[in-house]
Homo-oligomer: A and B are copies of this chain.
């Protein structure tokens, strides 16, 4: 559980998994499922894809096979496919099938490593926007020095534009997500801008800043003003709100920087016999650091604002990454996150912190 507290055991949680759409292939998906089952034995899976392939890959009699129902899908949406083409080819694809299991209520959450644009297009078609939501957004977790260990960034790329009203709704959705994914009771929200002074930035940001003052009590969050790129990891904010163009670029810049430094660190330690010895001594420390900046451990962009939960796993995620996305889906599902968020967006009032019944498929 990411940043969460232990919950009392409940019934099974059924997750709907697209086995086919990632870059990595079925084997990593199954290994990720296996890891997630070890971590939480109450999970069950509906697995969508080529039944023959999946049947062969899933060893009969294994603990995972006992908890998995295979559902055949003829086709696969490609990683480079345009959303418009993906929509035309949706029927019969593993991605579409995974979403249908959420629509039908069999599962509260779908997980796919497929291409983001196609997954968002199909999700909107299959699940529709929740009442009160004009633009769904993708929320991601980013390592920070906050006690929860992460900040929330949204929109990470669902839509390349957002006006002032959209940004305020992102703040409401982000606050709800931070409460449920990170156990932050009263999230501090900041608007991403090029300066923290009130007169700076684009007009829609200044307008959103004014609207935020009235939205904050409604959404039970604290609006802390403008934040900058270097606040991504800072401890003064919990949720960073921005349009999907800027958010996507900030996210990928941060990831790229972390990966570059990791590579440099490896090279630095391979430099001499002394530094190799140093690396050996410091192995534990380096592992701790590696786990902290490893994007696989925060794998999973969550689609907010739909009638059902959809989690996008990194296209290139390995088994560890896929397992992280599954655990995130399980935790959010168990907390009834989709229903809480929908209630907040539709009515603006009831506290999602007070609700407690689990959501969706308990068997």
List residues of A whose CB falls within 8 A of some B CB. Answer: 80, 82, 117, 143-145, 157, 160-161, 192, 194-195, 197, 199, 201-202, 228-234, 242, 244-246, 248-261, 263-265, 268-269, 271-272, 274-275, 277-286, 288-289, 292-293
Contacts and interface: CB of A to CB of B under 8 A. Distances in A.
B157 A194 contact: yes
Contact of A160 (B201, B263, B280, B285): B201
A148 B260 CA distance: 16
Contact of A194 (B230, B233, B248, B264): B248
Contacts of A228: 248-249, 252
A281 B274 contact: yes
B256 A268 contact: no
10 contacts: A144-B260, A145-B260, A161-B202, A249-B250, A253-B257, A254-B256, A264-B293, A268-B289, A274-B281, A274-B284
A261 B254 CA distance: 11
A67 to B, nearest CB: 36
B284 A271 contact: yes
Given A161-B202, A228-B252, 7 more contacts: A143-B260, A230-B253, A246-B246, A257-B261, A271-B284, A274-B282, A275-B282
B274 A292 contact: no
A361 to B, nearest CB: 34
A160 B144 CA distance: 27
Contacts of A197: 80, 82
Contacts of A260: 143-145, 233
Q: How many copies does the complex hold?
A: 2
Contact of A286 (B80, B199, B268): B268
B248 A246 contact: no
Contacts of A284: 271-272, 274-275
Nearest to A269: B285
A84 to B, nearest CB: 9
A72 to B, nearest CB: 30
Nearest to A250: B253
Nearest to A157: B194
Contacts of A281: 274-275, 277-278, 281-282
Contacts of A269: 282, 285
Nearest to A262: B261
A336 B211 CA distance: 50
A259 B230 contact: yes
Given A82-B199, A160-B201, A268-B286, A229 B253 contact: yes
B268 A282 contact: yes
Nearest to A196: B80
Given A194-B157, A229-B253, A252-B228, A245 B289 contact: no
Contacts of A160: 194, 201-202
